[in-house]
Amino acid sequence: MEDQVFGEIISDKKICKYIFETILSFKIKEIYYPEKQKEVKDPKHRERKDVRFDILVEDYEHNPYDVEAQTTDKKDLGWRMRYYAAKIDQRYTLDKGKTYRNMKKAYLIFLCNFDPEGEGRIKYTYHTYEDHNKSKQFQDGLEKIIINGKGIPNGENADQVGLVNLINDRPVHLNAIFDEIQTRIKDMNEDPEWRDKMIDYETRMLEKEQEAEEKGMQKGM
C-alpha cells in the first residue's frame, strides 16, 4: 500500500480506531479525529530537524498515538522512533504546571513492508528494561511497535494477519471494515484526479528533500 493511500484511508476516524485496536490488542474508548501529515516545528531552534507525522491522533484521555508507513529500510528505525517520541513529548504529553506523574502514555507504531529484525514475526514490541534483569520494565509510558509486512503468521489474531495482507496489497476477506478499506483503495487507485494529486505530492516531497540536501551541502562548505 502506498504512503498517501495509507494516510488517506487511516485518517477516517472509524478505520483509524479499528487499526489501532488491531495493532495494540486492546480496546480504545474513543479517539479524536486523526491529524494527517501533522508537522511539528520548533521555531526557537530552526537548525533542528522538523517532524511530519503520517497520522497523529489522541484518545479521550489525550494519550497520543502516532502511526507511520515505512516503505524503505534505511536502517534507522530505532533512531527515528527516538526522535519522534521526543517530539511527541515536547508537544503533547505534559502540560505546563503538571508533574511528571501526569504525563500521558505515548504509542509509536511503524507499519513496514520489510522485516527490520529479520526474525519473521508480524509484530515487534519495544519497551525499556533494566539490563541485568529483563523482568524489570522501566515505567516510562512509551510503547513502540513495528508491524512487519513480511511477517509470517504464527498465532497472531486474524485482524493482525489481515492488516499484513493489506500492507502487501493482498485481498482480505474478514469483516466489513476491511471490505470498506479495500473498496476505498480501489476507488482511489482508479481515480485519475487522485493519481495526479499523488504525483504532485511526491514531486513536492522530492523537491523538499533535494532542497534540504543542498542546504546541508552549503553548510558543509
Residue 44 confidence (pLDDT): 54
Q: Are 84 and 138 in contact (CB under 8 A)?
A: no
Confirm whether 206 is domain-assigned. Answer: no
In the prediction, which pLDDT does 33 show?
Answer: 83
> What pLDDT, on the 0 to 100 scale, is given for residue 36?
79
> Would you say residue 79 lies in a domain?
yes
204 found inside a domain: no
Pick from 134, 116, 132, 135: which is nearest to 124 by CA? 116
- Is 151 within a domain? yes
Looking at the chain, list the stretches that DSSP marks H as alpha helix, in order from N- to C-terminal side: 3-10, 13-24, 77-88, 158-167, 176-189, 192-220
Low-confidence ranges of the chain (pLDDT < 50): 45
Residue 195 lies in a domain: no
pLDDT on residue 106: 97
- Residue 11 in any domain: the answer is yes
Query: What residue type is 188 in one-letter code?
Result: M
42 part of a folded domain: yes
92 within some domain: yes
- pLDDT at residue number 219: 64
pLDDT tens digits for range 96-136: 999 999 999 999 999 999 999 999 999 999 999 999 999 99
Q: How many domains does the chain have?
A: 1
DSSP 8-state symbol, 33: P
Q: Residue 53: name the closest of 104, 102, 106, 95 by CA.
A: 106
Residue 67, domain extent: 3-190
